[in-house]
Amino acid sequence: MTKVEITIKKLEPNDVDLFITVVQLFEKVFEMKNFKLPDRRHLKQVLENPDFFAFIAQFENEVVGGLTAYTLDQYYSQKPLAYIYDLAVDEKYQRKGIGSQLIAAINKFCRQKGFEEVFVQADKIDDYAIDFYRSTRPTEEEEVVHFYYTLWYNQEQ
């Protein structure tokens, strides 16, 4: 694996253009069909939310990776948790240590902010993601089943 010299940046509310770029990267890497990017105003509101944070990885001023996470306040402890919602690296830059650097960046950020832990979920069938997260030396691994409830539907059905 050849490491690439990258810069990790935590996005601020005025970084809407960079946020749009990373969301478009997620769309590409996750092969999202029929995705419609929300408007700039909404994306700025997301970035202004103190319980949301986004990190990008840049190589020669190009966004090549990104990570988004949410703060979860808990009732078992006064220390919050961080939930990594998305992490992706541009296909041509994968397996070069960029994802690991993004994980290290969020772990460092959350440690400095007094979080109790950072966690992420991966689909059981996504062997690459599971192998990747295992390579980042997590403290613990659990096998869970994830359920979700879609609250909107196509009214033409």
Q: Can you give the pLDDT at residue 5?
A: 84
Q: 156 pLDDT band (50/70/90 cuts)? A: low
CB neighbours of residue 47 within 10 Å:
18
Q: Which residue has the higher pLDDT, 129 or 8?
A: 8
Q: What's the sign of the alpha-carbon dihedral 149, 84, 68, 45?
A: positive
Strands of 40-92, DSSP E: 52-59, 62-72, 81-89
Q: Can you give the pLDDT at residue 89?
A: 96
As a whole number of angstroms, the distance between CA 82 and CA 71 comes to 5
Mean pLDDT of the 49-73 span: 97
**Which domains occur in the chain, in start order?**
7-135 (3.40.630.30)
- DSSP three-state, residue 147: coil
